[in-house]
Amino acid sequence: MAQPNLRTRQLTKRFGTRIGVDALTFDAERGEVVGLLGPNGAGKTTTIRLLSTVLAATSGDFSVAGVPSSRPAEVRRRVGALPESAGYPRYQTGLEYLTYFARLFGHNRADAIRLASRLLAEFGLAERAARPISTYSRGMRQRLGIARALVNDPDVVFLDEPTLGLDPAGQLQILRVVRDIAARRRATVVLSTHMLAEVEAVCSKVLILDRGRVIKWSTVAEVTAAVGAPRSAVIRVPLDQIGTAVEAVGALPGRTVSAADERPDALRVTTTGSSDGMNAVLAELLRASVPILAFEVEGTRLTDAYLSLTGDAGAAADADIAKGAP
């Protein structure tokens, strides 16, 4: 049986007494987009740095396209990465920048220029190829960074918060690129992000970390289904019907009703039941002849699941970071 494209076993990184990543174990196949989630300080960036060999593991191992982590230079030939806070030489042009990196991956000058030009065209930067990177917008720089991550035609691509600071159009553009890398290039993409809507949109699997430990590794659908996370919705009804609505919904088991954002004609309903819990709420309101003026489910399903899994722990981790705990 063929080995998974990306395979990690008990991968651990300690910084002194602090655990960066603890016994990380997962497999990912070609064409998969893996969402790497977790609160700040959960170990997402450390995971990417370990798997791209920028950091060496304290223990455990991994392989990329069958190449073991004991051969880091060879692993680097098979991975591409866009670091979280990638910097760019301001005076270099996009073409020079990509050409340089292509040369570092062993291309001769002519091949490197050809490859750089092709990538610039592919990422919609051909017209700016000869302009200094300092004139690029943030979105263009992010696309240039992803293009750089692809100069070696990698088997695994790591993207650390690629949409951070981009406008909605820029975010959509990057997500299209992510899908394309997985679908056309058949690479495994590991996408670290805080934007759960992005994960729902492009990822097939999610790896949720908390304080360096894996707390969930599954498909997006399985995570949302298995967690049974509470869902909430804001329902607006005529003001004179609010009492009837509260009475009707409050009678349903597993639902709590509260005021919504201090609006007298709206109520927030939270359900811990099955995924169709909100359907029962709507049915009950209709049965009680309460006109529904507006109905809005809050957050995404994955957001609910994520908060359910990391909620307190995530807040505690953030507090640790704020206090400067190691």
Partner 1 sequence: MAVAGQECRDLWLSGRGPLLLFAFSLLLSAFTYLAATNQAINFLEQREAVNLTLQIAVAVGVLVTLLVSADGISGERERGTLEGLLLTPVSRRVLVLGKLAAALTVWFATFVVSVPYIWVLGRGVSVVGQALLLSLVIGTVLAVGLAALGLLVSGLSASNKVSIAVSFFILLALFAPTQLPGGLPKGWFGDVLGRLNPVGAGLHYPTAILVNGHDWTQDLNYLIAPGVLVVLAIVPLTLLSDRIVQLEPGSVR
Q: Which residues bind partner 1 (CB under 8 A)?
A: 15, 49, 52, 54-56, 73-74, 76-77, 79-81, 83, 85-92, 96, 100-101, 103-106, 148-149
CB of 109 to partner 1, least distance (A): 9
Nearest approach, Cβ of 51 to partner 1 (angstroms)? 11
Burial environment of residue 54 by CB neighbours within 10 A (0 to 12, 13 to 18, 19 or more): middle
Selection from 302, 85, 46, 308 nearest residue 194 by Cα: 302
Looking at residue 104, its amino acid is L
Nearer to partner 1, 136 or 217 (CB): 136
Q: How far is the CB of 91 from partner 1 (least distance, A)?
A: 5
Nearer to partner 1, 75 or 196 (CB): 75
For the bound state, the minimum distance from the C-beta of residue 62 to partner 1, rounded and expressed in Å, comes to 15
Tokens standing for residue 195: 């934007």
User: Are 175 and 202 contacting, i.e. CB atoms less than 8 angstroms apart?
Assistant: yes
Residue 211 CB, nearest approach to partner 1 (Å): 20
Q: Which is nearer to partner 1, 87 or 253 (CB)?
A: 87
**Which CA distances in Å does 229 have to 67, 80, 217, 290, 306?**
39, 35, 16, 27, 8
- Angle among Cα 86, 91, 96 to the nearest 5 degrees reads 80
The set of residues, in sequence order, having a beta carbon less than 8 Å from that of 110 and lying 6+ positions away, is none
Cβ distance to partner 1 smaller for residue 16 or 253: 16
**Of the two residues 149 and 178, which places its CB atom closer to partner 1 in the complex?**
149
Q: How many CB atoms lie within 10 A of CB 264?
A: 9
At its nearest, how many Å lie between partner 1 and the CB of residue 184? 22
- Residue 282 tokens, joined: 């709507």
Q: Which is nearer to partner 1, 2 or 110 (CB)?
A: 110
Whole-number Å distance between alpha carbons of 51 and 62: 7
User: What residue ranges in 169-227 does DSSP mark as E strands?
Assistant: 188-192, 205-210, 213-219
DSSP string, 249-312: HHTSTTEEEEEETTEEEEEEEEE-S-TTHHHHHHHHHHHTT---SEEEE-S-HHHHHHHHHHHH
Nearer to partner 1, 56 or 293 (CB): 56
Residue 73: CB minimum distance to partner 1, A: 5
